[in-house]
Structure 1
Amino acid sequence: MALRIIDMDARASITLGIFTAVAVALGMVLLALLHFLPGALVLFKEAVVAVPLGPVYMLMLAKVPRRGVFLVNGAALGLLFALTGFFTVGLVAVAGGLLADAVAATRGYRSPAANAAAYAVFRLGQAVGTYIPFYLWADSFVADLAASGRMDPEFLAVFTTSLTPGMGLAVLAANAAGALLGAAFGQAMLRRHFLRAGIVGPG
């Protein structure tokens, strides 16, 4: 039997759709708010966003422990970014979703450690998609962004001057740390509140 990349019934699909909408909307709002961080700190905004989104994703995994959770989220993000002209972010978000599902599936989406690692992989995918164009196509990419008016020159200057290879590694490390912290926070909330209230089962 062929391995299915998405394994959802109607009820799971509806629940996942709701969580995906919440996660994507919350993530976009937080990124917009953090857009105004001063100087090179703005490079770490995805890492900051990974922390409050952690509980959302851990609850999502508890409610829908099915293959395709991360892929659906990655596809939703990918479509959103592609529509706004950031195709690299979209493509890598989908790839990150596939990889994250593979990690979580190794333990049936029930292992806190595997789910945390999967969430970290998912967030790293989005970070890589955001920053890799500045390394691969720096001049043309920056020129295109400036010409389109999607980013103001001062904001772009942060990327062209601060996003060194060393800074890129620091950004990725911060994203991984933020994701793991957010996952741990979310799993603690599940244990203390949601399990006690019967919102999610112990499995």
Structure 2
Amino acid sequence: MIDVLLADDQALVRGGFRALLDAEDDVRVVGEAATGDDAVALALQHLPDVMLMDVRMPGTDGLEATRRIVADPRAAGVHIVVVTTFELDEYVAEAIRAGASGFLVKDTEPADLVRAVRVAARGDALLSPTVTRRLLARVALATRDVAAPAALADLTPREREVLVEVARGLSNDEIARALYLSESTVKTHVSRVLTKLDARDRAQLVVVAYEAGLVRPGWAR
């Protein structure tokens, strides 16, 4: 069972998400928060598998709430998905640095919302070409002068290749096919890259790759 916590200041949005998710056999909503402060408190109380976090909420916003939750060791297993709109592009890189695992837009299709919750619960980042990669590519233009982490030098050539494919939004299975590797080998490489770059998850790897110039907006296979 995947436990989900909802954080949004609009009761209608929370209600819609709850009705959709509670209809699934393997998903249950364990709580709702209307403010950032409540989101932090409920996250640490319930320790859900996935948290859908709105950006704009009264008082503490979703970005600060994400930082507080991620900073607490008790919440190491909480995967936060920021709910945003295309008008909030400036928040994307900041949210990933804060520890968000991915993004949803509020008008996302119901089936995509359920899928996103399951993907996040597995510990994967939501890096769909139609949503997150598009946002990250635009944000990358504003962060292109940020210095690349020195730890990049510690990556092997193959690890760099895997990092680039992660940044392009490919899943482990897709990377395996692209680089002619087994999926288990790709998982090992991704794990090592995460460790070497001290990244929480794949979403943060995307930002690193853009900032380091390994991937540029508009690049695609």
TM-score of the pair, normalised by structure 2: 0.28
Q: Which has the higher helix share?
A: 1
TM-score of the pair, normalised by structure 1: 0.29
Using CA pairs under 8 Å that are at least 6 residues apart, name the structure with larger relative contact order, 1 or 2. Answer: 1
